[in-house]
Amino acid sequence: MADRDHERRRAREFEMIEAEVERSLLGGEFKYTREQAAEIAGVPLERAQRLWVALGFAHDDKPDEPMFTDADVEALKSITSLVDAGIIDPGLEVSVTRALGQAFSRLAEWQLGLLNTYVADRVRNHEAGDEVDPRAVAAAASLVAEQMLPTLEKLQSYAWRRHLASNAARFLDRRSEDTDRRTLVIGFADMVGYTSLTRRLDITELTTLLEFFESTVTTVISQNRGWVIKNVGDEVLFAAEDPVDAARIALSLQDAAQTTEELPNLRVGLALGEVLVRFGDVYGAVVNIAARLTSSARPGTVLIDSAMADALESEHEFQVRSMRTLRVRGYSRLKAYTLRR
């Protein structure tokens, strides 16, 4: 019974802390219902609801209670103004909003992990002795949030603008071209034996492994004029415009894995061709081929497709050798080549 009371008390304490931190992060009080927020923003309610859900937030299950702030109203105005000004096609409004929501949801997840660690440490310090004072912890957490938020906002703005500048040349050179359809080299690199590793490693060791993997592949890819599209656990999806750059990335990734004990062996696959580029991700047969080549590669090797082999034919820096035709899911006869220096 005492344990149950303790847990209930802890739950109430955390609810108080969360409410205080939420107010601090939002920078204002909840003042408007969803209808009021939409009306002030000058946006039809149905449209406002679609955008709210696209950002990644659930439908308001208490429509008559104030759940929106001045910042929510301004955000709604900003999103719709891009459409009204003709910058975003009306048909893409929800898709663009969804892409923003997904990107920042992931960003917020790890950032709030920092704040949560702070709060949990303060509460844990009181467990063996004095009773925790929720108001004191909430005040301290809010102060940390207020200090953290401006710094993170500056860093996010800097990183975003720097990436815009870095990537601008690739797009501005294609003023007369459909930028959604581009010819790229798509690559995958994944860690061999990751599933068995996860069974042997504790959470701290797994965190260290993933951090080292992501840090290594990001450095290698960026230094060779490629870019990371996304990391998915034990695998990274990347792209490059130049087949030579892509080949150097693949071989450098293998060099990095083979010269350090921190990384297991890698499998790498590359395919060249036209892809659909949509909100930072890539789609199409070329992506599927690169994935199939990666899963078929032996540990420590790089497999490429026919288009990549043709593109590298006159490059003396590389050695390309034909191998047997692969039978993989979706492709009964996939021609593959090994790539070496």
Task: Please calculate the CA angle 196-202-204 and round it to the nearest 5 degrees.
Answer: 125
pLDDT score recorded for residue 197: 82
- Prediction pTM value: 0.70
What's the pLDDT tens digit per position in 124-178? 665 555 565 666 666 666 666 677 777 877 888 888 788 777 766 666 555 445 5
Complete DSSP assignment for 218-249: HHHHHHTTEEEEEEETTEEEEEESSHHHHHHH
pLDDT score recorded for residue 176: 46
- Of the candidates 31, 165, 55, the one whose C-alpha atom is nearest the C-alpha of residue 108 is 55
pLDDT score recorded for residue 179: 64
Q: What residue ranges define each of the domains in the chain, with the CATH number in brackets?
A: 2-172 (no CATH), 181-340 (3.30.70.1230)
The pLDDT-based confidence of 108 (bands split at 50, 70, 90) is confident
Name 321's Cβ contacts closer than 8 Å, sequence gap at least 6.
337, 338, 340
Taking the C-alpha atoms of residue 21 and residue 58, their distance in angstroms, rounded to an integer, is 20
What's the pLDDT tens digit per position in 44-55? 999 888 888 888
Q: Which two tokens stand for residue 268?
A: 């790498």
The pLDDT-based confidence of 279 (bands split at 50, 70, 90) is confident
pLDDT score recorded for residue 157: 84
Q: CB of 216 within 8 A of CB of 254?
A: no
Q: Which two tokens stand for residue 139?
A: 């005040």
Q: Which residue has the tokens 């702070």?
A: 118
pLDDT score recorded for residue 237: 94
pLDDT score recorded for residue 118: 63
- What is the rounded average pLDDT for all residues in the chain? 82
267 pLDDT more than 60: yes
pLDDT score recorded for residue 30: 82
Q: Which carries the bigger pLDDT value, residue 131 or residue 320?
A: 320
Average pLDDT value for residue range 35-49: 90
